[in-house]
Amino acid sequence: MGIKVYIDGKYYSKVESKISVFDHGFLYGDGVFEGIRSYDKLIFRLDKHLDRLYESAHTIMLEIPMTKKELTAAIIQTLKLNKLSNAYIRLIISRGIGDLGLDPRKCPKPSIIIIADKILLYPNKFYQEGLAIITVPTFRNLPNSLDPGIKSLNYLNNIMAKIEANNCGYNEAIMLSSDGMVAECSGDNIFIIKNNILYTPPSYIGALKGITRDTLLEIGEKNKMRCEEKMLTRHELYNADEVFLTGTAAEIVPVVKIDERKIGTGRPGKITLKLMRLFKQMTKKEGTRYTF
């Protein structure tokens, strides 16, 4: 049985799942989204994802035509229909159908799409052996042009960075701010460990305030680690004891080489591996339960 996709209250097969070419999400990237994970029938931190979704929508003046409770029910029903105990959930709110102009007032009804499927962002060997990444020329969007707290459908800035990494034979890219400070990767937040202190760039520099990012900061603090949001240079990344990436789809990925500089021992570090284990334990305990 193929996957069933929720579109505005109805379910469609993968091949039947269509939106209008006049939808402003398609035409202009006008909308917001969340990527969410479920583990063993437990939707991890769904409340936090929905809070961020509604905040993003509020900032771009997009009124979501469902309550959080109704959206939760629709997400759970989508997982049940697809018989998915472990899933990646893509929740999309588009501005909806309008005309060929930009004016959002021409879009009377936002559209809601829920896709639930399996995902493997990186091959398993990268979690075991570590990932090599590269800095790319594309800068992160200026925060005063597009606030990084808005998880919008327009990801062209990130896609350009990913293309540049791919063209050089890498799977992930470090994006810098306009003044050369480390912001984030094309699809993940970045952390370093130096002298047992956990550092990650602050969101105001252009980094998304990721749910997994915040979870790792919580885990670090609970385990007596000093955790700081700090402006980071590439020099500090090159000379870190350990580096890792975080994201809903990626989870936690060790980094062992940046711009051809070996990080630490060149293998996933002990603290990173411990944080990976602790994160896995948390995903089995915290979230919204569903059954089928």
Q: Hey, which residues are catalytic here?
A: 151
Nearest in space to 245 (alpha carbons), one of 188, 184, 162: 188
Q: Strands (DSSP E) along the chain, which ranges? A: 4-7, 10-13, 31-38, 42-43, 87-94, 111-117, 131-135, 173-176, 182-185, 189-194, 197-200, 226-229, 242-247, 251-258, 261-262, 288-289
Question: One-letter amino acid identity for 228?
Answer: E
Nearest in space to 4 (alpha carbons), one of 79, 94, 111: 79
Which strands sit side by side in the sheet containing 10-13, from one edge to the other?
A: 10-13, 4-7, 111-117, 87-94, 31-38, 42-43, 288-289
